[in-house]
Each structure stands twice: as C-alpha cells, then as structure tokens.
C-alpha cells in the first residue's frame, strides 16, 4: 500500500512539475479530482493485450462514468442524407473519388436546411485526395467503410502556413493540405460504425526520410477555427504526420477512437489539440510513432504574437501503446506551445511503456 501510494505521489509530482516547465508562457495546470484517476494503476492491465482487449477492459467494465462529451450538443438526426455512391464514387480502392466527395458536399451545402445533412460512406475502399468538409454535416462511415488517402502528393493542394507557426512545421513556407479538412466550420460530426480513415502514410514517411518533400507533411484530419465538433467511434490510421489536428478550435469532443500508426513512423502523433479550447478526449486506444496526445499552441515568436493558448482540455481513459503519452513542454519540438497552455485535466491514462508523462 505504502509503495503504491509513493509511486502515485511521485507521478503526481512529476505531473505538477510538467505544469511549470521552462516556458514563461505556460501559466498553470489546474488539477482537480479527475486527475487522481490518472495516477492509480488499474488492475488487470499488463502483459500483452490486443487493442480490443484494451477496449473491452475500458469500455466494458470501467466503473467511472465521468465524461466531458456533453460539451458538444449533437442535436437532431440530419434530415437530408445522401450516400457517396449517389455521386458516382467507386469503392474499389483504385478509383480516385475526390470529385465525388466534392460534388456530394457541394450538393449538401446547397440543399440542407439548418439541421444539416449526412454524407454516408458505405462498406468499401474509397480512395480520395484532400476533401473540405462543410458546416452542419455528419460524415458517417458504415461498418466496413474505409476512406483511403491518395498516395499522389498532387492530390493535396498546398495551403498557407498557420499564423501561429509562421511556417510549415518541417519546411519553411506553405504546407500540404490534409486528407480531411475543415476551415471555419461549426456543428460537424465525423462518426460511424468503426469505419476507418486511412492516410496511407507510407509514401509520406519515405519522402520525409529521403528528404524529397517540397512542403510540410499532411495530416489525416485538420480542423481550423471550427467549433462544436464530434469525432466518435472510428479508426484513424497511417497518418502522414500528426493524425488529428484541431487548431484554433472550440468545443471539440474526440471519443471512442482507435488511432493506429506504426511505431516507427516519423512524427505520427495521435491527437494534437493546438491553440484550442474546451477539448474533451476520452475512451481512445492510441498506438502511434510519437506522442499519443500532444497539446500545443504555436511556434516561437509566431505562437507568442498569435497568442492563442490551449486551455480547458480534459483527457481521460486513454490507452496508449505509443512511445510517449505526454504534453510537450517545448524543448524537444522547439516551442510549439508559445501561445500558452492552461487548465489541463487528466483522467485515467495508461500506456504500455514505462514513461507516462513526457517532461522537458
Ligand atoms: C460504434 O461502432 C460499433 C461498431 O464497432 C457499433 O456497433 C456501434 O453501434 C457504434 N456506436 C454508435 C453510437 O453508433
Ligand atoms: C475497429 O477497427 C479496428 C481497425 O480496423 C479493429 O482493430 C477493431 O477490432 C475494430 N473494432 C470492432 C469492435 O470491430
Ligand atoms: C523518396 O520517396 C518518394 C516517396 O516514397 C519516392 O517516390 C522517391 O522515389 C524517393 N526518392 C529517393 C531518392 O529515394
Ligand atoms: C466504442 O468503440 C468500440 C469499438 O469500435 C465499440 O465496440 C463500442 O460499441 C463503441 N461504444 C459506443 C458507445 O459506441
Ligand atoms: C506492450 O509491449 C509489449 C512489449 O514491448 C508488446 O509486445 C505488446 O504488443 C504491447 N502491447 C500493446 C497493446 O501494444
């Protein structure tokens, strides 16, 4: 008992230390009772478990029902629904369906009323380049649906650098758009019956390693300046770099996801809330090549002058087999938190490696 208590105290202390970091722009980590969850080692986790075992052990038998998912109001079912097949898409894994996605979203944008619309993706392998979502949308991946990112970089338009970074993350200047993008949206749900969104990142990792990229790598999902976002009950995999990147967003719930990037894939963080506020991440299994979750807020003088912190972030019941599960404290990635980070609450967070919190 005493040993266990000391172990928890040590981890608690380490977490507090991580809150004061070297950056003067990192004001506070407010710690509440939900934090205590994060420092008790649940029984029965250990040895080799499959993602499903871990899912079951958490979603099946976990007693704590505490949840932050209410910060997004999901509203009524969407009255207008179409399938991607209505727009000529072919789910053979070879036909490029970018145009079908564009036409479907354009149609929904023009025809939906204020309750919005649903784009359904049935079982199949739907290859596409970069797509741009619309407001008041549910993107629904049925059982067996796979959205596959094109392996041709030309299918990802070049977009401007983020103002809080002042450059691409890896190279100066502009950057590749993501597979799925949302810019200045509200009321968007991305969900389904455990469908998969697959960035097919292999070509990106190769090009990154052999230094043949002209611009910074893409993400599987990037939402910029958007609010009331729910990402739920899906699998994201093989991201070119960070997998899910909400930046300048508000009211974001990321729940019951599986995120799978190979352990040796470069910089493939799971979820990176960046200069975002009121973010709830819970009940996820994350096995990636870098941080499971990394909270950010811009880079150097750009992050400081943009001045948008990440705050009111809640994280609980995360199972991670990633290299690190942590909050970057600015040193290893330069200062991708120059806009500040405050009020982060951590619930049960586990990983399969010795180092749970990454402290710089
Ligand atoms: C989540 O996905 C599972 C399939 O993995 C499905 O059975 C379940 O109904 C989905 N949940 C919701 C709320 O749609
Ligand atoms: C969900 O999909 C992932 C990846 O395909 C798979 O590992 C997992 O077993 C699936 N879960 C369910 C309940 O089908
Ligand atoms: C670098 O990687 C890209 C993407 O996989 C590949 O097309 C290209 O041939 C590689 N170039 C060299 C010099 O290895
Ligand atoms: C969460 O995801 C798992 C795995 O896909 C699924 O079996 C379960 O039904 C999901 N939970 C809810 C509430 O949908
Ligand atoms: C946990 O780590 C062990 C040893 O590194 C590995 O064999 C196992 O697959 C990992 N479990 C998960 C769920 O990733």
305 pLDDT more than 90? no
Ligand 2, CB within 6 Å, residue ranges: 51-52, 194, 196, 235, 258
Count the helices and strands in the chain (H runs, E runs): 6, 22
Whether 203 is in the pocket of ligand 3, judged by its Cβ within 6 Å, is yes
Structure tokens at 230: 């729910």
Range of the domain at 156: 2-18+26-359
Whether 314 is in the pocket of ligand 1, judged by its Cβ within 6 Å, is no
Ligand 2 atom with the smallest distance to the CA of 260 is 4
Q: H or E segment at 312?
A: strand 310-320
- Please state, in angstroms and rounded to a whole number, the distance separating the CA atoms of residues 147 and 170: 26
Q: How far apart are the first and last CA of the chain?
A: 30
Q: Residue 345 class from Cβ within 10 Å (0-12 exposed, 13-18 middle, 19+ buried)?
A: buried
pTM to 2 decimal places: 0.80
59-63, 157-161, 243-247: range with lowest mean pLDDT: 59-63
State the pLDDT at residue 322: 66
36-40, 165-169, 322-326, 336-340: range with lowest mean pLDDT: 36-40
CATH of the domain at 288: 2.160.20.10
The single-letter DSSP state of residue 324 is B
CA 58 to ligand 1 centroid distance, Å: 15
HEC-encoded secondary structure of 195-214 = CEEECCCHHHHHHHHCCCCC
pLDDT, one tens digit per residue, over 193-234 is 999 999 999 999 999 999 999 999 999 999 999 999 999 999
Residue owning the nearest CA to atom 5 of ligand 1: 194
Whether 216 is in the pocket of ligand 1, judged by its Cβ within 6 Å, is no
Beta bridge pairs of residue 221: 180, 244
Instruction: Give how many domains the chain has, as a whole number.
Output: 1
Label residue 295 by pLDDT band (50, 70, 90).
confident
The question of whether 113 is a catalytic residue gets the answer no
CA 286 to ligand 5 centroid distance, Å: 12
The single-letter DSSP state of residue 177 is P
Residue owning the nearest CA to atom 9 of ligand 3: 207
Q: DSSP H helical segments within the chain, as ranges?
A: 2-20, 33-37, 51-55, 98-111, 202-209, 300-306
């Amino acid at each position: 008992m005493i040993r266990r208590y000391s172990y928890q105290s040590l981890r608690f202390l380490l977490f507090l230390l991580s809150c004061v970091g070297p950056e003067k722009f990192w004001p506070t980590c407010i710690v509440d009772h939900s934090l205590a969850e994060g420092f008790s080692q649940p029984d029965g986790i250990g040895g080799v478990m499959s993602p499903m075992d871990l899912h079951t052990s958490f979603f099946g038998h976990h007693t704590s029902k505490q949840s932050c998912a209410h910060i997004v109001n999901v509203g009524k079912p969407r009255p207008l629904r179409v399938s991607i097949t209505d727009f000529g898409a072919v789910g053979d894994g070879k036909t490029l369906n970018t145009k079908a996605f564009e036409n479907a979203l354009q149609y929904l944008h023009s025809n939906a009323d204020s309750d919005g619309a649903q784009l359904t993706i049935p079982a199949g392998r739907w290859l596409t380049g970069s797509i741009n979502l619309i407001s008041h949308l549910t993107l629904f991946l049925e059982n067996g649906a796979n959205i596959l990112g094109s392996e041709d970089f030309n299918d990802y338009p070049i977009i401007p650098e983020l103002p809080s970074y002042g450059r691409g993350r890896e190279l100066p200047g502009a950057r590749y758009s993501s597979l799925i993008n949302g810019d200045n949206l509200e009321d968007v749900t991305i969900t389904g019956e455990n469908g998969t969104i697959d960035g097919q990142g292999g070509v990106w990792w190769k090009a990154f390693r052999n230094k043949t990229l002209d611009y910074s790598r893409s993400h599987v999902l990037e939402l910029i300046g958007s609010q009331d976002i729910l990402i739920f009950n899906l699998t994201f995999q093989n991201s070119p770099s960070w997998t899910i990147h909400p930046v300048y967003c508000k009211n974001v719930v990321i729940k019951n996801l599986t995120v799978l990037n190979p352990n040796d894939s470069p910089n493939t963080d799971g979820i990176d809330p960046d200069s975002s506020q009121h973010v709830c991440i819970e009940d996820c299994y994350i096995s990636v090549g870098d941080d499971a979750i990394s909270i950010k807020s811009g880079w150097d003088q750009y992050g400081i002058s943009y001045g948008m912190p990440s705050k009111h972030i809640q994280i609980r019941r995360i199972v991670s087999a990633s290299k690190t599960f942590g909050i970057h404290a600015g040193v290893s990635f330069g200062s991708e938190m120059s806009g500040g980070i405050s009020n982060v609450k951590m619930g049960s967070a586990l990983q399969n490696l010795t180092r749970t919190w990454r402290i710089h």
